[in-house]
């Protein structure tokens, strides 16, 4: 069936958005999540706290339904995410062993994925111009083709980043961060929490729109500690702008293989990928997916390995 664009197609003009995936997931392998209760962090809903009341008022002022907002902030599943606090405020992608994505075990899974989904990948390439091996490299690096996905409630991640910027929570946040990065300064913590909070609020508004349109249980949606979800690990603004329906069922589900494949292709096409693009330009497009030179180099190296195999296969 010819893929159709999902109902989720609009985006804010001029915005640069990044799915934030591979390094996030790799770090998650190294730092297993711990409960909020272990550090005395809020859990069981935040509506009836000064922070929760303030956030609810802000969202309602921005046009979201009061009843829905209060239900979400009062949901017992809502808790401050310690792993997000430890990793997302001051993040260093140099800690990732990027070579692990070039290990034969992972490459063989990518080859198997390409073989099993040859027609689907060919259709996505025909529509977007993005080679099958590039799409496969992204899905392998981001989530191991969906095998590594259920980590943290996405709603909690963005609420956590907003909570971290509340001056009343500064000492708690700094203490958690300094356990992982002892040299981080108070000034840096303040700077990053404020910056992350601005970004998190924008992502939270996209997430609320997505949940309303797609009729999903937002508190049950899970992804990385940075708020990315699905096989391609899109953040909410990336889903809103670039997720497409590849299966023909009228909606974009990033845990559906066809939707994930076409969404990655659509993302790359939207940022200028085309046939014959020089490697320097290819790197630039990949950095729009994740703004990291190490990430871009890894994606293109994995794709090259997969291309070599494909060329040898009759």
Considering only CA atoms, which of 239, 246, 233, 277 is closest in space to residue 119? 246
The per-residue pLDDT for 93 is 55
Q: Is the pLDDT of residue 99 over 60?
A: yes
Q: What sign does the CA torsion over 223, 59, 196, 18 have?
A: positive
The per-residue pLDDT for 313 is 60
pLDDT, one tens digit per residue, over 111-133 is 999 999 999 999 999 999 999 99
Considering only CA atoms, which of 264, 153, 163, 265 is closest in space to residue 211? 153
The per-residue pLDDT for 10 is 31
Q: Is the pLDDT of residue 14 over 50?
A: no
User: If you average pLDDT over residues 175-196, what whole number do you get?
Assistant: 92
% of the chain with per-residue pLDDT over 70: 84
pLDDT, one tens digit per residue, over 63-76 is 999 999 999 999 99
Structure tokens at 208: 């609320």
pLDDT, one tens digit per residue, over 276-311 is 999 999 999 999 999 999 999 999 999 999 999 765
Q: Are 114 and 136 in contact (CB under 8 A)?
A: yes
The per-residue pLDDT for 30 is 40
Q: Rounded distance, CA 236 to CA 238, Å?
A: 5
| Backbone torsions φ then ψ of 267, nearest 5 degrees | -60, -50
Confirm whether 50 is domain-assigned: no
Q: Are 232 and 226 in contact (CB under 8 A)?
A: no
Considering only CA atoms, which of 200, 202, 194, 201 is closest in space to residue 165? 194
Confirm whether 284 is domain-assigned: yes
Confirm whether 173 is domain-assigned: yes
Q: Is the pLDDT of residue 25 over 80?
A: no
Structure tokens at 302: 């994995």
Q: Rounded distance, CA 133 to CA 120, Å?
A: 12
Q: Rounded distance, CA 164 to CA 80, Å?
A: 9
DSSP 200-217: HHHHHHHHHHHHHHHT--
The per-residue pLDDT for 74 is 97
The per-residue pLDDT for 23 is 47
The per-residue pLDDT for 151 is 83
Higher pLDDT, 314 or 62: 62
Number of domains in the chain: 1
Range of the domain at 104: 22-43+79-312
User: If you average pLDDT over residues 231-247, what whole number do you get?
Assistant: 97
Confirm whether 149 is domain-assigned: yes
Measured CA to CA in angstroms, residue 130 lies from 1, 4, 120, 126, 231 at distances of: 19, 17, 13, 8, 17
Average pLDDT, the chain: 87
Q: Indicate the pTM of the whole model.
A: 0.85
The per-residue pLDDT for 97 is 84
Confirm whether 61 is domain-assigned: no
Confirm whether 1 is domain-assigned: no
Helical segments of the chain, H only: 22-30, 50-61, 66-74, 82-88, 104-116, 118-128, 132-143, 154-164, 170-180, 186-214, 236-242, 257-270, 279-289, 293-312
Confirm whether 70 is domain-assigned: no
Confirm whether 98 is domain-assigned: yes
């Amino acid at each position: 069936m010819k893929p159709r664009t999902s109902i989720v197609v609009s985006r804010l003009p001029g915005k640069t958005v990044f799915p934030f995936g591979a390094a996030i997931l790799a770090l998650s392998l190294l730092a297993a999540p711990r409960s909020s209760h272990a550090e005395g962090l809020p859990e069981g809903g935040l509506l009836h706290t000064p922070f929760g009341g303030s956030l609810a008022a802000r969202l309602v002022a921005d046009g979201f339904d009061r009843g829905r907002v209060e239900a979400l902030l009062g949901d017992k599943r809502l808790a401050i995410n310690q792993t997000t606090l430890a990793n997302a405020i001051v993040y260093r992608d140099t800690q990732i062993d990027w070579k692990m994505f070039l290990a034969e075990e992972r490459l063989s899974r990518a080859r198997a994925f390409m073989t099993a989904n040859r027609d689907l990948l060919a259709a996505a390439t025909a529509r977007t111009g993005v080679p099958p091996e590039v799409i496969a490299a992204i899905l392998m690096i981001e989530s191991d083709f969906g095998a590594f996905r259920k980590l943290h409630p996405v709603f909690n991640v963005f609420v956590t980043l907003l909570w971290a910027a509340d001056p009343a929570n500064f000492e708690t946040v700094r203490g958690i961060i300094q356990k992982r990065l002892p040299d981080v300064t108070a000034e840096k913590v303040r700077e990053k929490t404020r910056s992350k909070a601005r970004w998190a609020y924008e992502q939270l508004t996209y997430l609320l729109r997505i949940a309303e349109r797609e009729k999903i249980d937002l508190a049950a949606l899970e992804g990385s500690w940075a708020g990315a979800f699905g096989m391609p690990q899109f953040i909410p603004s990336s889903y809103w702008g670039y997720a497409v329906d590849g299966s023909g069922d009228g909606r974009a589900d990033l845990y559906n293989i066809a939707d994930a494949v076409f969404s990655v292709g659509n993302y790359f096409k939207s940022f200028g990928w085309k046939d014959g693009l020089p490697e320097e330009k290819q790197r630039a497009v990949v950095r729009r997916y994740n703004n990291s030179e190490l990430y871009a180099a890894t994606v293109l190296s994995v794709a090259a390995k997969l291309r070599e195999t494909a060329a040898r296969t009759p």
